[in-house]
Structure 1
Amino acid sequence: MANNDTIKKTLLVTITLSLVCSVLVSGAAVALKSRQNENKVLDVQQNILAISGLVADPKALSRQEIQEEFSKITPKLVDLETGKFDTKLDVDTFNQQAASKDPAMSNALPADQDKALIKRLEKTAKIYVVEKNGKLETVILPVRGYGLWSTLHGFLALESDLNTVAGFGFYQHAETPGLGGEVDNPRWKGLWIGKEVFDDKGNIDITVVKGAVDPSASDAKHKVDGLSGATLTSRGVDNLVKFWLGKNGFGPFLNNLKKGES
């Protein structure tokens, strides 16, 4: 009787099983990629809805309800160099993160201008606007910058005066849970609401302080408590907010919008 337990047959079975498993895994990855991309978009929409104040708890909504609520928000493109709306690109297909890595759609930032440590700045940004009866209620600005371990991606929402914070939060980061990861803490995010980002002369005056803000201080409306035990993450948040509100970020756009020249 022939011996079937040969090295050749063992290798053949092993290779065949490996190929079958590889095909199954690859097929599953391809099949799930579309749903994964949809879930990423849905997560960003949930964060925008929460930050805009339109929905108290977007996570409690169904996929369809999220999309219905998000339809009340208008995405627009902004040319960061001119500070004016850009209608040359397709707002529905524009990917800001991809643009930031494309040399044709972004510029390298000199070290002395790169307060947020993002290395490259896209020429165009995708913002979101909430209007009621044709009047601006909220403008939601994408922001990002380096913390301690990662680049934090989020949104800063301003009220119609383009000065008062309506909401703030991050949808992507890899900061330390319990420390820098407290940027996700609803209590801390709530501290930003009502704060003013500019002083009376239009200078950026919002600051994340070390420790707690003295509520009786004359400048308390421009200060936010730092994250306990997360000095570098707090500093990173402070830097990224200042960068995106400044001349290389949305500063020119906000000035134009105030003057009705966007």
Structure 2
Amino acid sequence: MDKETSASAFRAVIVLALICSVLVAGAAVGLRPLQEANRKLDQKKNILRAAELYQGTGDVEKLFQQVETKVVRLADGSFVPPEEVNPAEFDQLGSLQSEETSRKLSKEEDIAGLGRREKYSLVYLVKKDGRLDKVILPVRGKGLWSTLYGYVALSANLSTIIGITFYEHGETPGLGGEIENPDWQAGWQGKQIYNQQEEPAIQVVKGQAKNTYQVDGVSGATLTMNGVNNLMHFWFGEHGFGPFLERYKGADKM
């Protein structure tokens, strides 16, 4: 092959590569709104699943109309007026990028391995006849290989677990990945978050649970289970939703 032919072939490869790059980039940009819509839809499904309002069928958007989304100030548990922080527009994880809307956790505080904690959080309320029926709270924390993202639904007494879901993680399939198994998640139903001293007492244990504060563990997934324990104790403690739940415990309206 002479030099001119080699140069022409090289130019053709470069042009083809550039065209492919433009097409891939264009497709990524064009699909981004659809991907974001699918992500939000999946989150709504998991919120509904945790609250036992979705069993795999039905119009998710229609079912979600019974859920009221609000923003709370984690420091004191108070609701934030929508004119201050609009729940429909609030990017909770995105707020971690700003020092104005998040804070660095100390080593002693950071039992869930978060690094930073947002100042505001979304909460999801389900009411019946104007009275509080269920509260669904977003939780997250480090497992063995990844950050675990999920939702915990509580009954109106703000201590009894109705359901739990984990919708995103990178744990080992068949081991830590069992946190997304509906059968394992069902074991959380009816468990109590707080003991008589109003301290977070819920715990995943090795073997079988022996009381209302314990959940069966997954064999061979000790570190992932430890991560679940840590995130539950963080988010239901004083640096998570503890102030919010304490403020409204005993109230039937929010």
User: Equivalences for 1:7-22 in 2 at 5 Å?
Assistant: 7-22=6-21
Residue 60 of structure 2 corresponds to 66
Q: After TM superposition, what 4+ stretches of structure 1 lie above 6 angstroms from structure 2?
A: none
CA-CA distance at 1:100 after TM superposition = 2.1
Distance in 1 (CA, whole Å) between partners of 2:7 and 2:51 is: 64
Structure 1 SS opposite 2:49: helix
Deviation per CA, 1:41-84, whole angstroms, max 9, x where unpaired?
A: 11101111111111222xx33xxx11111111011000001211
Residue 107 of structure 1 and its aligned partner are, at CA, apart by 0.4
1:84 maps to 2:75:
no
Corresponding residue for residue 184 of structure 2: 188
Equivalences for 1:141-152 in 2 at 5 Å?
141-152=137-148
User: Which is further off, 199-208 or 174-183?
Assistant: 199-208
Alignment partners' CA distance in 2, 1:163 and 1:37: 33
The question of whether the paired residues in 1 share the 8 Å contact of 2:157 and 2:250 is answered with no
Amino acid aligned to 2:150: G
Which residue in the other structure is 2:217 paired with?
A: 226
Alignment partners' CA distance in 2, 1:201 and 1:21: 62
- Paired letter, 1:26: A
Identity score, percent: 42
Using the alignment, how far apart are the partners of 2:221 and 2:25 within structure 1?
40
Q: Confirm whether residue 158 of structure 1 aligns to residue 177 of structure 2.
A: no
How many angstroms apart in 1 are the aligned matches of 2:87 and 2:136?
A: 15
Q: Which of 104, 107, 118 lines up with 1:108 in the alignment?
A: 104
Normalising by structure 1, report the TM-score.
0.92
Structure 1 residue 14, shift from structure 2 partner? 1.3
The residue type equivalent to 1:221 in the other structure is: T
Paired with 2:174 and 2:100, the residues of 1 have a C-alpha distance of 39
Shift of residue 101 of structure 1?
A: 2.9
For 2:51 and 2:6, the matched residues in 1 are separated by 65
Is 2:135 the counterpart of 1:136? Answer: no
TM-score normalised by the chain length of structure 2: 0.94
Amino acid paired to 1:227:
V
Query: Secondary structure, in 3 states, of the residue corresponding to 2:191?
Result: coil
C-alpha separation between the residues in 2 aligned to 1:201 and 1:7? 79
Find the aligned partners of 2:106 and 2:79 in 1 and give their Cα distance: 25
Q: Which consecutive unaligned segments of at least 5 residues does structure 1 have? A: 215-219
Q: Report the counterpart of residue 228 of structure 2 in structure 1.
A: 237
Which 10-residue stretch deviates more, 180-189 or 22-31? 22-31
SS in 1 for 2:187: helix
> What do residues 218-255 of structure 1 show as CA deviations (whole Å, max 9, x unaligned)?
xx011111111100000110110011000000001001
Alpha-carbon distance in 1 for matches of 2:22, 2:225: 45
Does the CA contact (< 8 Å) of 2:111 and 2:230 recur in 1? yes
Secondary structure in 1 aligned to 2:219? Answer: coil
Letter in structure 2 aligned against 1:230: A
The aligned amino acid for 1:252 is P
Verify the 8 A CA contact 2:194 2:202 in the aligned structure 1: yes
CA apart distance, 1:13: 1.2
Amino acid at match of 1:71: Q
Per the TM alignment, residue 5 of structure 1 is displaced from its structure 2 partner at its CA by: 6.2
Q: 1:125 aligns with which of 117, 121, 125?
A: 121
Partner of 2:205: 209
Provide the C-alpha distance between the structure 2 equivalents of 1:151 and 1:128, rounded to a whole number of angstroms.
22
